[in-house]
């Protein structure tokens, strides 16, 4: 009974000791944390290749620059320490393996607020790409632990494709700015000492003829002439009866005496 109580007391004491250590050294990183990460420092001993340290530092710094600062988050700086570089075990014995520790230190107080130990393996055993792949695995684990944004990959512009039929023994071409096609060919062609310089003149561009105004013909107003009334013979008074029409424009007289007409009959008196 006493032995059992002693074991329980020892277990409780061990748990309290571990809890005090976690409080002193900050909480462990078991899920993504939200901090305003300001900077990162990667350190290792002389056994770690320098290109691996530089690759990790460059990738994490790019992620910090691409991350939008969270509102109200505590400002921290990261310290990445690569502890061991070796190979895995079992099926991963041919793959490179890295064990590293990440510590987040508060900018205001200077005390560590979070700490975590990680182990990553390289996804390839190709010697040319193993270190770069391993550096990307380390940076990806740090980005996930501190909620950092993955930076965009810049697309490298391919060089312009040029095809030239000029031989290496040919002289270099002479480029004349602001010239036409004919003058450019004349400038590029090599000139010997016996040849005379060719004077290239600008082509004459025919101009369109200017439109001339033509004078309008004179307009003479035609005078309208009224046709004369045809001459009609005078009618005798005996021929004019009741109902006889008188043409338009004719001059007539009114006869007051039925027996004679003074205009026609000479011996007829004007007064009755």
Hey, CA dihedral for 53, 57, 59, 60, is it positive or negative?
positive
Residue 82, Cβ neighbours under 10 Å: how many? 20
> pLDDT per residue over 221-264, tens digit each?
767 777 665 555 656 666 666 556 555 455 566 666 566 666 66
Span 110-163, pLDDT tens digits: 999 999 999 999 888 888 888 899 999 999 999 999 999 988 877 767 777 777
Walk me through the domains of the chain, giving residue ranges and CATH numbers.
38-145 (3.40.50.10610)
Q: How far apart are CA 146 and CA 229, in angstroms?
A: 124
Q: DSSP label at 166? A: -
Whole-prediction pTM value?
0.48
Return the C-alpha torsion angle 73, 76, 82, 87, nearest 10. Answer: 0
pLDDT digits (tens, 9 = 90+) for 158-208: 777 777 677 777 777 777 666 555 555 555 555 544 555 566 666 667 776
Distance CA 183, CA 179 (A): 6
């Amino acid at each position: 009974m006493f032995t059992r109580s002693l074991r329980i007391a020892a277990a409780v004491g061990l748990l309290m000791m571990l809890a005090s250590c976690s409080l002193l050294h900050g909480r462990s990183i078991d899920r993504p944390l939200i901090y305003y990460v300001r900077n990162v420092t990667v350190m290792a001993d002389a056994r770690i290749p320098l290109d691996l340290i530089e690759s990790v530092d460059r990738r994490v710094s790019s992620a910090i620059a691409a991350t939008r600062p969270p509102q109200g988050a505590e400002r921290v700086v990261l310290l990445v320490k690569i502890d061991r570089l070796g190979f895995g075990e079992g099926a991963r014995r041919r793959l490179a393996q890295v064990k590293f520790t990440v510590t987040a230190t508060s900018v205001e107080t200077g005390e560590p607020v979070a700490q975590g130990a990680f182990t990553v393996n390289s996804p390839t055993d190709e010697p040319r790409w193993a270190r770069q792949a391993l550096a990307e695995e380390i940076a990806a684990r740090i980005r996930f632990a501190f909620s950092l944004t993955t930076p965009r990959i810049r697309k490298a512009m391919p060089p312009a494709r040029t095809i030239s039929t000029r031989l290496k023994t040919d002289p270099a071409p002479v480029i004349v700015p602001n010239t036409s096609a004919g003058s450019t060919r004349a400038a590029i062609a090599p000139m010997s000492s016996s040849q005379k310089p060719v004077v290239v003149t600008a082509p004459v561009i025919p101009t369109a003829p200017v439109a001339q105004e033509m004078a309008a013909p004179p307009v003479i107003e035609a005078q309208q002439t009224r046709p004369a009334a045809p001459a009609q013979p005078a009618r005798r008074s005996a021929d004019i009866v009741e109902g006889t029409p008188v043409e338009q424009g004719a001059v007539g007289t009114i006869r007051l005496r039925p027996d004679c007409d003074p205009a026609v009959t000479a011996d007829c008196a004007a007064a009755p």
